[in-house]
């Protein structure tokens, strides 16, 4: 009986963890250079990160948007005087 309680508790915890990981509140991003918010409206990459990705450093969509922000910020010529 004691083993059954431990097994049930373990399964309950495992299901809770898996379900919480599936719905982390971050919208799926098709184009990381032009992210959309939860309503499907365009949003800047930095606002997307601020709104959806704080504390979610392992989320794939957050990582992709952050990389796109970095890539976009390095585009263009050198500043005058270089």
pLDDT in tens, 7-32: 888 777 766 655 555 557 889 999 99
Position 81 in a domain: no
Q: For the chain, how many structural domains are there in total?
A: 1
Give which of 48, 31, 27 is closest to 39, Cα–Cα. Answer: 27
Position 14 in a domain: no
Position 7 in a domain: no
Per-residue pLDDT band at 1 (split at 50, 70, 90): low
Q: Which long-range contacts (CB under 8 A, 24 or more apart) does 72-79 make?
A: 72/33, 72/45
Position 18 in a domain: no
Looking at residue 53, its pLDDT comes to: 92
């Amino acid at each position: 009986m004691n083993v059954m309680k431990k097994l049930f508790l373990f399964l309950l915890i495992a299901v809770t963890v898996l379900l919480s990981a599936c719905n982390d509140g971050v919208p799926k991003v098709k184009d990381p250079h032009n992210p959309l918010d939860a309503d499907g409206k365009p949003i800047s990459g930095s606002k997307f990160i601020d709104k959806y990705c704080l504390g979610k450093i392992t989320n794939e969509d957050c990582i992709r948007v952050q990389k796109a922000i970095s890539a976009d910020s390095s585009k263009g010529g050198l500043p005058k005087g270089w």
